[in-house]
Structure 1
Amino acid sequence: MAHRFVRARPKRERLPELRDRLDDGDIEQLDPFGRAMTTALENARFDPTTGEAVWIEEDYCTPPLAMERGAVLEEYFDEITVVADDVDEAAGWQRIDELPGLWGQVLDEA
Structure 2
Amino acid sequence: MAYRFVRAQPKRDRLTSLRERLDSGEIEQIEPFGRAMTTALQQARFDPASGEAVWVEEDYCSPPLAMERAEVLDDYFTDITIVDEDVDEATGWERINHLPGLWNQVLDEV
TM-score interval, normalised by the smaller of the two chains: over 0.9
1:35-50 maps to which residues of 2 (within 5 A)?
35-50=35-50
Once residues 27 and 95 of structure 1 are traced to their aligned partners in structure 2, the CA distance between those partners, rounded to angstroms, is 26
TM-score relative to the length of structure 2: 0.99
Tell me the SS of whatever aligns to 1:61: coil
Q: How much does 1:18 deviate? A: 0.2
Structure 2 residues without counterparts, runs of 5 or longer: none
Q: How much does 1:62 deviate? A: 0.2
TM-score relative to the length of structure 1: 0.99
Residue 82 of structure 2 aligns with which residue? 82
Tell me the SS of whatever aligns to 1:55: strand
Residue 15 of structure 1 aligns with which residue? 15
Once residues 12 and 27 of structure 2 are traced to their aligned partners in structure 1, the CA distance between those partners, rounded to angstroms, is 18
Once residues 52 and 69 of structure 2 are traced to their aligned partners in structure 1, the CA distance between those partners, rounded to angstroms, is 16
User: Structure 1 vs Structure 2: percent identity of aligned residues?
Assistant: 72
Once residues 26 and 109 of structure 2 are traced to their aligned partners in structure 1, the CA distance between those partners, rounded to angstroms, is 24
Structure 1 residues without counterparts, runs of 5 or longer: none
Residue 66 of structure 1 aligns with which residue? 66
Q: How much does 1:31 deviate? A: 0.1
Q: What stretches of structure 1 move > 6 A for 4+ residues in a row?
A: none
Root-mean-square deviation (CA, aligned residues, Å) is 0.3
Residue 6 of structure 2 aligns with which residue? 6
